Amino acid sequence: MKDFINKLYRNHSLIYKGLLFVCTTFVIVYLFPKSGKFKYNFEKGKPWQSENLYAPFDFAIKKSEDEISAEKKAVTENATLYFDLDNGIKSAVDEAYKQEFQKTFADSVPNRRLNHLYNAGQAIINDIYDYGVLDENYNFSNDRTIAILDGRVKKQDGLFSDLTKQDHLTTIINSDLSKENLQDYKTVFTSLFFDLIQPNLKFDKVFTDKALQESLDKIIYTRGSIERGTLIVAKGEVVQGDKFQILKSLELEYQSQVWNQTSFYWVLFAYTLLVSLALLMLLLFLRKYRPDVFDNNTKVTFIFFNIFLMVFLTTLVINYNSKYIYVVPICIMPLIFKAFFDARLGLFAHVITVLLLGFIVPNSYEYMFLQIIAGIVTILTVSELYKRANLFISVGQITLIYIVAYFAFFVIHEGTIETLEWTVFGLFILNGLATLFVQPLIYAYEKLFGLVSDVSLLELSDTNSKLLKELSNVAPGTFHHSLNVANLAEASANEIGANAMLVRVGALYHDIGKMKNPTYFIENQSTAINPHDELSAKESARIIINHVIDGIEIARKNNLPDRVIDFIRTHHGTSLVYYFYVQHKKDFDETDTADFTYPGPKPFSKETAILMMSDSIEAASKSLKEPTTTKIDAFVENIIDKQIEEGQFLNANITFKEIQSIKKVLKLKLANIYHLRIEYPE
C-alpha cells in the first residue's frame, strides 16, 4: 500500500493532466448538440455540391416557417370572439323605460301620440339590445366573427359590427326616430336613453384564447410526403423553392426521428472520441516540443481553460442565433498564447480549437477556413503586444482578412454581389473591437494563473521601480553592472531570436541578492578596505554564493514572477567561486569543491544561458588591462569556452551556432564600451 501511495505521489503530475484531459473532454462534449448531424451542407439559392441525393426513408415535407407563420396569423385574425351575455340587464332596462317614459312625457300629449312614442322607444331598446351592448369599446375588426354565450351556452353568432357600441347609441336612436317621423323628439329620447341603457356584453378573453389555441393546434405542419428512393436533388442543381424545403424536412427528420436512445449514446461516444483525439494531439505537441509547458500543470490548465472558454462562448451564440457566430473573438486565444508562450503553440492551439468548433457551427468549412486564416494572420502580425499601436494595427489587419475572405466565399457561392449581406461586415468589426479586450484579459490571467507576459516584463524593466531604486541606492556598483549586463544580454537575445525583453528583465534583477551584503562585492567597494581580508576563503565564498539565495528570498518577498527568479537561480549555474577556491587551496592541500560551488541549477533556456555568458563577460571585463580587439576576442572566447567545458549549457536548448553568434555580439559590444580604435603600426 505504501509503495502504491509513493507511486501515485511520484506520478501526481501525470495523474492531474489525465484528470484535466478527461474533464475538459466531457465538458466540451456536454456543450455540443447531442442529435445526429446531417452530413450535407446546403444553402438556399446555391448549387448542390454533393452527389445525387435519394430519400433514405419515407418522410413528410414540412411546411416552411413562413408558411406556418402565415397560417397561424390567418387563424388568429379569423378566430371567433366570445362575449358573455347578462340576461337580466334587458329586462331591467324595459322596466325602467316604462317608469321613466311616464315621467318624461306630459299628460298633454294625446293618447294616440303617446302610444306611438312609447312603441318607438321600445323598438329602439329592442334594436339596441338585438345582439347586446358592449361594456367598452374593443379594438377588433368589424368583420370578425363573434359568438354570444349565455351561461357557457352559445346563444347567437354574428359579426363584431352587429354589436352595439356605447358611442353608437345616438346614431341608432336618430335612425329609428327618422323611420317613425319622430325627429322632433330626438333630444328627449337621447336624454332618456342616456341614463337607461346599460351594457350587457363582456368580452370573455379566457374562453376566446382557449378556442384560439384549439384552432392553432389543428394546424397541419406538413404538406405531402417523399417516398424512400425518390431523387431529391441532383448534383449541381440549385437548391431553392420546394427542393430547399424538402432538404430541410429531411434534415429535421434525420435529427429527430432517426435518433433513438441507442443512437444517442453512439453519437455521444463518437463526439467523445473526436474531442479526446484533438486534445490528445495538443498534449502530445506540448510533451514533444514544449516540455517546459507540459511539466507545468498550471500552464496546461491555462491552455485547456482557454479552449473550453472559446467553445463555451461559441455554443452560447449558436444557441441564441447562429448568424452572430462571427462576433465571438476566436483570435483572442492565439494572441494570449503568444503573449504567455510562443507563436507556434498559439497557432497549434488555435487550429485545434477551430477543428472542435467545426462540429457545431453552420457552414463549417467556410467558418474553419476564415478562422484558421485569421489565426495565422494574428500570429504573423502581432509582435510586441505591450505596444498599443501594434495591437490596433494587428486587429485592423485581422478584421480586413475576415472581410476579404468572407467576400470571396460569398461571391463563389452567389456569383454576384447584389445580395451581399453588409450586416456581416458589421459583425467582423464587432469581432475586432472585442479582440482589443485581450489586454485586460491578459492582466486578469496573470493574476489568476501566476503567468508573466511581455506587458508585465515591460513594467518590471522600469529602473524607477521600487526594488531597482533600492538596488541603485544600496549597491550602486551592482546596479550599474546589472544595467551593462542587461544591454549585453538584450543585444545577444535579439541576435539569435530569443526573448529579449525577458532576458533584459532577468539581467536587471539577477544580482539583487547583493543588497544584503553590498560591500563584500568589489563593484560596491568605494575605498581600499576589503572586508574579505578579515575572513577566511571559505567564509568569503559562502557570502558570495549566498547572494543567489538572498536574491531569491528578496525576489519572492517583492512578488517577482518565477520566470524572473529563474535568472537569479541560474546565472552562475554550478560554477566555482574560483578566486577564493584558489586562495583556500594555497593553505590546504585537500579542498572540497562543494564549499565553493554555486548551488545551481544550470541554465535551462536560451535566455538564462545568455545571461550567464553576459554576466561573466561583463564582470570579468573590468580586469582587462589596455584592452585591444585581439585581447577582447580571446577574452570572450576563453570565458565562454570554459563554461561549455564545464557543461553549464547542457540543459539549455541553445546550439553551438547560436553561441558563436552571441560571442560575436559580445565582442562587438565590449569593443564599443572600451572605445577601441584601429591599431596603427608604430
* Cis peptide preceding 601, ω within 30 of 0: yes
Mean pLDDT lowest among 2-6, 139-143, 656-660 = 2-6
| Alpha carbons 524 and 514: distance in angstroms, whole number | 9
Looking at the structure, give the CATH architecture of the domain made up of residues 454-673: Orthogonal Bundle (1.10)
Tell whether the model's pLDDT for residue 128 goes beyond 90. no
| Alpha carbons 669 and 666: distance in angstroms, whole number | 5
Domain map (residue ranges) of the chain: 2-33+262-449, 74-215, 454-673
Residue 162 pLDDT grade (very low, low, confident, very high; cuts 50, 70, 90): confident
What is the arithmetic mean of pLDDT over 49-56?
75
Q: Is 132 left (phi over 0), alpha (psi -120 to 50) or beta?
A: left
Tell whether the model's pLDDT for residue 190 goes beyond 80. no
| Alpha carbons 130 and 121: distance in angstroms, whole number | 14
Q: For cell 562587438, name the residue.
A: 668
| Alpha carbons 179 and 464: distance in angstroms, whole number | 104
Residue 681 pLDDT grade (very low, low, confident, very high; cuts 50, 70, 90): low
pLDDT at 342 (0 to 100): 83
pLDDT at 40 (0 to 100): 67
Residue 259 pLDDT grade (very low, low, confident, very high; cuts 50, 70, 90): low
C-alpha torsion sign, points 646, 650, 653, 657: positive
What is the arithmetic mean of pLDDT over 162-166?
84
| Alpha carbons 55 and 265: distance in angstroms, whole number | 25
Q: How many CB atoms lie within 10 A of CB 195?
A: 9
Q: For cell 539583487, name the residue.
A: 512
pLDDT at 275 (0 to 100): 94
The 10s digit of each residue's pLDDT in 266-322 is 778 888 999 999 999 999 999 999 888 898 899 999 999 999 999 999 999 988 888
Q: Tell the burial category of 613 from Cβ atoms under 10 Å away from its Cβ (0-12, 13-18, 19+).
A: buried
Q: Tell the burial category of 310 from Cβ atoms under 10 Å away from its Cβ (0-12, 13-18, 19+).
A: buried
pLDDT at 566 (0 to 100): 93
What is the chain's alpha carbon radius of gyration, rounded to the nearest angstrom? 44
DSSP-derived 3-state class of residue 575:
coil
Pairing of strands 231-233, 145-150: unpaired
Q: Are 426 and 538 in contact (CB under 8 A)?
A: no
Residue 82: which H helix or E strand, with range? Answer: strand 81-85
Q: Are 81 and 211 in contact (CB under 8 A)?
A: no
Higher pLDDT, 326 or 590: 326
**At how many degrees (to 10) do helices 562-570 and 500-509 cross?**
60
The end-to-end CA distance of the chain, in Å, is 83
pLDDT at 241 (0 to 100): 75
DSSP-derived 3-state class of residue 232:
strand
| Alpha carbons 121 and 112: distance in angstroms, whole number | 14
Tell whether the model's pLDDT for residue 260 goes beyond 60. no
Q: Are 618 and 673 in contact (CB under 8 A)?
A: no
| Alpha carbons 65 and 16: distance in angstroms, whole number | 49
pLDDT at 256 (0 to 100): 63
pLDDT at 243 (0 to 100): 80
DSSP states along 255-317: HHTS--HHHHHHHHHHHHHHHHHHHHHHHHHHHHH-HHHHT-HHHHHHHHHHHHHHHHHHHHH
| Alpha carbons 673 and 664: distance in angstroms, whole number | 14
What is the arithmetic mean of pLDDT over 417-444?
85
| Alpha carbons 335 and 438: distance in angstroms, whole number | 7
The 10s digit of each residue's pLDDT in 344-365 is 999 999 999 999 998 888 778 8
Q: Are 186 and 173 in contact (CB under 8 A)?
A: yes
SS (H, E, C) 456-486: HHHHHCCCCCHHHHHHHHHCHHHHHHHHHHH
Q: Are 329 and 302 in contact (CB under 8 A)?
A: no
Phi, psi of 239 (to 5 degrees): -85, 105
| Alpha carbons 505 and 608: distance in angstroms, whole number | 11
Higher pLDDT, 239 or 278: 278
Q: How many CB atoms lie within 10 A of CB 333?
A: 22
Cα 293 from chain centroid (whole Å): 23
| Alpha carbons 443 and 385: distance in angstroms, whole number | 12
pLDDT at 657 (0 to 100): 94
| Alpha carbons 164 and 198: distance in angstroms, whole number | 11
Mean pLDDT lowest among 182-186, 371-375, 677-681 = 677-681
**Helix intervals (H) in 11-134:** 12-31, 65-78, 87-104, 111-128
Mean pLDDT of the residues in the chain: 85
Q: Is 439 left (phi over 0), alpha (psi -120 to 50) or beta?
A: alpha
HSE (side-chain half, CA atoms, 13 Å) at 403: 16
C-alpha torsion sign, points 19, 23, 26, 32: negative
Q: Are 536 and 591 in contact (CB under 8 A)?
A: no
Tell whether the model's pLDDT for residue 667 goes beyond 70. yes
pLDDT at 188 (0 to 100): 78
The 10s digit of each residue's pLDDT in 452-476 is 887 788 888 888 889 999 999 999 9
| Alpha carbons 130 and 126: distance in angstroms, whole number | 6
SS (H, E, C) 423-448: HHHHHHHHHHHHHCCHHHHHHHHHHH
In percent, the amount of the chain with pLDDT more than 70 equals: 91
| Alpha carbons 223 and 63: distance in angstroms, whole number | 6
The CA distances from residue 36 to 33, 43, 680, in Å, are 8, 19, 85
Q: Is 548 left (phi over 0), alpha (psi -120 to 50) or beta?
A: alpha
| Alpha carbons 511 and 490: distance in angstroms, whole number | 17
Pairing of strands 81-85, 145-150: parallel
| Alpha carbons 527 and 524: distance in angstroms, whole number | 9
pTM of the model as a whole: 0.63
Residue 384 pLDDT grade (very low, low, confident, very high; cuts 50, 70, 90): low
Tell whether the model's pLDDT for residue 198 goes beyond 60. yes
Residues sharing a CB contact under 8 Å with residue 21, sequence separation 6 or more, in sequence order:
276, 279, 280, 283, 304
Give the residue among 508, 513, 577 at the shortest CA–CA distance from 547: 513
Residue 125 pLDDT grade (very low, low, confident, very high; cuts 50, 70, 90): confident
Residue 146 pairs with which residues in a beta bridge?
81, 158
The 10s digit of each residue's pLDDT in 472-499 is 999 999 999 999 999 999 999 999 988 8
pLDDT at 486 (0 to 100): 95
